[in-house]
Amino acid sequence: MLRSILEQSPAPTAVLDPDGRTCLFANAALRAIGGLAGPDFPERFPAVPAGLLAAARRIGQGQGDRTTDAEGRRWDVQVTPILGVAGTVRALLVTLRDLPPTQAEHDAQLREVSHRVKNTLQLVSSLLTLQALSTREPEIRRAFQSAGGRIGMVTQAHQRTHKALRRSHVDFAEHLRELCAELESGMLGGQEPRRIRVEAEPVDLPVDSVIPLTLIVYELISNALRHAYVEGDPGEVEVTLRHRPDGLRLTVVDRGRGLPPGLDVARATTLGLKVVRAFAGQLKGRVRAEPAEPGTRMILDIPA
């Protein structure tokens, strides 16, 4: 009965001989993490210190300690002597509890993962840039450059969400201003006198909404910068983010030549507008276009 109870215990558990070297029984939870019945248990599972076993055997009283295994996992170890009628130690009962990382360790792990993700995204963006430079076809080059730009926006949004660490929300107004400054300097490259003006009310968004909304902003602004004005002419794009009683409204306005006749934003087949519609749907929002007289006003309404 005791063996059956120990076998079903969720805590890794072992029964050792009186000398504390040989594991007579290891339950399923202990076997799952590499602790097996057999000789030299402290050698097989070094997270259990041999000195702790010796102290429990010598004193005849329970002993406990916190240790770390070779993989960095932290354990709370409890050793309980099983005594015979004469007070002699007949066996040692060892139980383990997996300790969660400290907050500092957790934050360090998050920073390491974030750094690797950032490096991976930058590598993908660099590969797309190299591919764009290696082709002579203008359309293909523009496609690779657009893909690289989207990856760059994801990287920037990822960095912003990572800064939140233990917080679950991000001030998107601050992120929006930084994003538009990056677009103005990076996309224009000093070739055209066009500017992006931003007016944004403070708004805390859940971190899982930041990347979709960042990509929507990127597509709407880049479309306006590329298509609203004649090449070489000055121009401006106005971006506003405001609270509404039922949610948020993002508006991107240009003063250019307007949308092509007959273009329906809800059915347009261009990749940029497809991306906008897809991520607007993910945010349960709705995107539409209005004439700005002159120019175009793109509106995204996001429910609270």
Which CATH homologous superfamily contains domain 2-99? PAS domain (3.30.450.20)
Architecture of domain 168-304: 2-Layer Sandwich (3.30)
Q: 0.75 exceeded by the pTM?
A: no
What does the pLDDT profile of the chain (304 residues) look like in tens digits? Answer: 888 888 888 989 999 998 888 999 989 988 888 888 887 888 888 778 888 999 998 988 999 998 887 777 888 999 999 998 888 899 999 999 988 877 776 667 667 776 677 778 778 878 887 888 888 888 888 788 778 878 877 777 777 676 665 567 888 998 899 888 888 876 544 455 678 999 999 998 888 888 889 999 989 998 888 888 887 777 889 999 999 999 999 999 998 888 888 788 888 888 888 889 999 999 999 999 998 888 899 999 999 8
Summarised one tens digit per residue, pLDDT across range 36-59 is: 888 788 888 877 888 899 999 898
The domain limits of the chain are 2-99, 101-167, 168-304
Strand order in the sheet with 23-26: 23-26, 13-16, 89-99, 74-83, 63-68
- C-alpha distance across the termini of the chain, in Å: 57
Strand order in the sheet with 286-291: 194-200, 235-244, 247-254, 296-303, 286-291
Q: Is 197 left (phi over 0), alpha (psi -120 to 50) or beta?
A: beta
Helix (H, G, I), strand (E, B) or coil at 163: helix
Query: Residues 215-227, buried b or exposed e (16+ Cβ, 10 A)?
Result: bbbbbbbbbbbeb
Structure tokens belonging to residue 251: 């508006």
